[in-house]
Amino acid sequence: MTANLFGLDREGLAAALSPYGARPFHARQVYRWLYARRAYAPAGWTDLPRSVREAVGQDTCVDPGRIVRRTEARDGTVKALIGLADGQAVEAVSMVQRGRVTFCLSSQVGCALACDFCLTGRMGLTRHLTPGEIAGQVALLQDDRAQADPGFNVVFMGMGEPLHNYDGVLGAFRLLTDPEGFALSRRRVTVSTSGLAPAIERLATEPERPRLAVSLNATTDALRDRLMPINQRYPIERLLSACRRFAEVSGERFTFEYVLLSGVNDGDDDVRRLAALLRRVPAKVNLIPFNPVPGKLPYLPPSRERVLAIRDRLLSAHLPASIRWSRGAEARAACGQLAVLEGEA
């Protein structure tokens, strides 16, 4: 397979380019062409010797992936099916709310964690994405939306468990936040995890790290075991310990995400226990009404009135709480709805 330069860092580019007579400083120049200027044709890399450009152009490629299909919802949310070099595909989402652009990225083809309310979990795990395949989603969504300004947000809340693909996600994060790369502020990048406690603790020690969101979704181990099998390995107390460690080491607050499932985790006792948990850690909670997938997932969201009542009860207890209302649901682009199922690619 032809070597793909997209996704390589400076060191990787230096190694890939050296057989063609490139000098070490040429790697930094190519890095800027790829990620800052988004110029993929070596012939246009005018600050490199022509002989190097010609040789690199013959033997390598620059492939960020391609949008195979796009589906647009009435609210302007766009879901993109992105084809990868090996024939696999993932979904990524571009949305705008109150003038703020957010890209929702996938980190794996499928997911191994099998959360019961998430459509991606029905796929199983095929493989991790590379840093280039992850950063490539941003490049493609930027081009699709003609979004040249780096004033957008990135959330790793698409297909896959980001911290299961720790090295791939952190490699992409470094490309996205490098001033000579995509030049995105690190505080505009959020990684959402279902609760891989050791990886949360590892993330806290990174010199530069994204924001953290932890998908909680239950207040007892018995229920969380059923909804999120990862809880059997890292139960709530172990997860809370990792979250406290993250806050202590990083000095940063994080977010709990709580998907509201009607009749399952939205009762008065659930809300009382959720409030007690929030008092123990420096976190806010983002309430997410479940996005239904008729015929594929057996859950429903609570009524709007119930969602508001839960938020108000938390706020009245002086606990930080907000609601993430659905975006792009009719295009199956909302939280928990991303998947490439058999016969749909």
**Can you name the residues that pair with 20 across neighbouring β-strands?**
none
Is residue 268 exposed (0-12), middle (13-18) or buried (19+ Cβ within 10 Å)? Answer: exposed
Helices (H) and strands (E) in the chain, counts: 10, 14
Residue 115 annotated as catalytic: no
The Cα 156–Cα 3 span in angstroms is 26
Q: Residue 138 — φ and ψ, nearest 5°?
A: -65, -45
Task: Considering the candidates 72, 115, 335, 342, report the single residue annotated as catalytic.
Answer: 335
Q: State how far the Cα of 133 lies from the Cα of 197, in Å rounded to an integer.
A: 25
Is 54 catalytic? The answer is no
Phi, psi of 276 (to 5 degrees): -65, -40
* 344, 262, 219, 329: CA torsion to nearest 10: 30
Q: 190 - beta bridge partners? A: 155, 211
- 8 Å CB contact between 158 and 110: no
User: Dihedrals φ, ψ of 151, to 5°?
Assistant: -85, 55
**And the tokens for 107?**
């980190």
CA distances from 64 to 4, 35, 136, 236, 310 (A): 9, 10, 4, 38, 42
According to DSSP, residue 214 is labeled: E
User: Cα angle vertex 62, ends 123, 81, to 5°?
Assistant: 30
Pick the catalytic residue: 91, 133, 161, 257?
A: 91
The residues annotated as belonging to the active site are 91, 335
